[in-house]
Every structure is written in structure tokens, then in C-alpha cells.
Amino acid sequence: MNTFTHEIPFPDATVITVNGVDLEVFEAGHENAGNPIVLCHGWPDLAYTWRFQIPALVAAGYHVIAPNQRGFGNSTRPEEVVDYDIEHLTGDLAALLDHFGYERATFIGHDWGAFIVWSFTLLYPHRVDRVVALSLPYLARGEMPWLDFMEAVLGSDYYFVHFNKQPGVADAVFDAEPARFINNLYRRDEPLMPPKPGMALIETARDTAPLGEPLLSENELAVYESAFKHSGFTGGINWYRNLNRNWHLLADADPIIHQPALMIYGLRDAVARSEQLSAFVPNVEELSFDSGHWVQQERRSETTNAILEWLDRNPAS
């Protein structure tokens, strides 16, 4: 990342070799060693998404560890699709804790990062103190593999399904103009509209008159454009291409999240709220803000304050 484009201070990157890949990690609060918090971005996103939360977390006494996960930024982008399954993604986090000498940590995740954090908690429960999830609630495993269920209910043009049925098609569209795609996707004050026919994200990437207002400044957009020009979008999309594989890999895990958890929704987010969250996450608190999908950026102060207040009320074990 070019730190000169940052409008607020952002940590310098360190490349750390863990679990057979190099991860680009942004670390802050070394003086708070012993009180780790790991921040996990989603798709298409970067560790940079946490730029508004990192200074406040450091000031509150946390050692912040925010990786660009495999497939993103300057982190390794394996060629094989299966190298992005949930065992590899959570294995990266476990190895990252080992690198820093931590047995346990608090984890915060947004979007796909939330899915990884929920899954990490299922697969490595002894390594998680607390969970904060933004946008994506816990995804119950159900009787049918996730992609099969989505195709049956939402059709073959639904982007999860399209990524799998037509590999490479969406990737090429996004790669062609990464700045336009990100700028069209990262919006605030978008009106809630019925879905259009076709593959929605491809339509978003090509849109010449997106609704709402840009969420990112020119400098912030430049950070995303530079990162995705370098990495492309395929690595991150490969996370979606493992969803059925993940369904099988999680079959033997205890499906209950026992740790204290905070779930933050955006009221304008297209991601559906879970009506059965407490059945799988009994120690959860739920909050909602008048926000779209990128709640930690759009409602930065409210989100940061809510996280800090909840962490203070639910100290790590």
C-alpha cells in the first residue's frame, strides 16, 4: 500500500510467512503485547477497511493484527481453488497467532471475514476469546450444501452461484476496471431497490450511473485500485468457489459458538439478518445502524464506539 494516499495514519506492512503462504500484515499497538485482536476483512476488501478502528483499538490497549488474507494485496495468491477453502483460511489465522506467540485472541470480521471468524471459532474454539461480526451473521450449516441451496432458491445468476458455474467470467469484468467496480460497489445512502435480472455484480461493475454517493474519497479509492490492479480479483473470488467444500469440512464441528459475540448489522445492507442467531450463538448481542454493507467505514464512529463499549463489558477470559 502507498501510505501517502492515506488520509489517516495506517500501519506499515510486514510480510509474514505462515501456513505455507506470505501474508501482508498491518500491525499496531506493539506496546500492548499480550492483548491481541485480529481483524479480518471480507471481499472485495483489504485490511485497509479497518483504518478507522485501528487507532481506537490501540488507544484502548489492544495489540492489533490486521492481515491482507491470502488472495489479497501483496499476500500470496495460490493458483489452486482448493487452497482457499476454510481449512486453509482458518489455518492462516492459527499460524498467525503462533507467529506472535498468542494462544488466544479476540477476532473481528466483516463480510467474508465474518464467515472466516465464525468458522475459525468452530474449528479452533480454544483460540478465541470473543467474536465481533459485521454484516454477515453466523451461517447455519443446514441439510443441503450452501451453493446447492442458493442455486435452488436464488437461481444460477446469483453471484455466489455464477462465480462457480462460470469461472473466470466475473473475474475478467472486475479486473478490467477495478477502480470503477470498487467505486460502484462502495456506496452510501443507496436506496433499497428490487434486484435486477442478470448477474448483479457484473452489472454493478459496468454501471455508468451508480445510485447513492461514493463512500471512498479519491485517495481511499486509489489504495483499493492499486491493490486490486496488483492482485486481481480471482484469489478472493476463490473463497466463494469453496463454499460447498466448506460445508463438508465443517460437518464434524460443534455448530454452537460458545464465546461472547457481538453482531452488527447495517439496516440498508442487502445481506439478510439472521432470525435464529441466538440458537447457534447463545451469548450474542445484536446491534443495527442506519448503514449499507460497509458499516465499519460508513458508520465509522458508531461502529468503533459500539465495539469498544462491548469489549469493555465482555473482558477476555
What is residue 9's predicted lDDT score, i.e. its pLDDT? 79
3-state class percentages of the chain: helix first, strand second, coil last, to nearest 5: 45, 15, 40
Binning pLDDT at 50, 70 and 90, where does residue 2 land? very low
What is residue 1's predicted lDDT score, i.e. its pLDDT? 43
Binning pLDDT at 50, 70 and 90, where does residue 7 land? low
On the question of pLDDT at 20 being above 50, the answer is yes
Kindly report the pTM of this predicted structure.
0.96
What is residue 317's predicted lDDT score, i.e. its pLDDT? 78
* C-alpha grid cell, residue 57: 483499538
What is residue 280's predicted lDDT score, i.e. its pLDDT? 98
Q: Is the dihedral of CA 153, 291, 54, 73 positive or negative?
A: positive
C-alpha 25/C-alpha 199 separation (Å) is 33
Q: Please report, to the nearest 10 degrees, the dihedral formed by the alpha carbons of residues 172, 175, 180, 184 taken in order.
A: 70
Binning pLDDT at 50, 70 and 90, where does residue 4 land? very low
Q: Can you tell me the mean pLDDT for 237-258?
A: 98
Binning pLDDT at 50, 70 and 90, where does residue 231 land? very high
What is residue 193's predicted lDDT score, i.e. its pLDDT? 77
Q: Is the dihedral of CA 183, 119, 142, 255 positive or negative?
A: negative
Supply the CATH classification number for the domain 13-313. Answer: 3.40.50.1820
What is residue 196's predicted lDDT score, i.e. its pLDDT? 75
For residues 261 and 238, the answer to whether their CB atoms sit within 8 Å is no
- The fraction of the chain above a pLDDT of 90, given in percent, is 93
Q: pLDDT tens-digit profile of 150-181?
A: 999 999 999 999 999 999 999 999 999 999 99
DSSP 192: P
Task: Choose, from 45, 83, 92, 111, the residue flagged as catalytic.
Answer: 111
Active site residue 111: yes
C-alpha 237/C-alpha 240 separation (Å) is 5
Active site residue 83: no
* Pairing, β 261-266 against β 128-134: parallel
For residues 124 and 94, the answer to whether their CB atoms sit within 8 Å is yes
Q: pLDDT tens-digit profile of 258-299?
A: 999 999 999 999 998 999 999 999 999 999 999 999 999 999
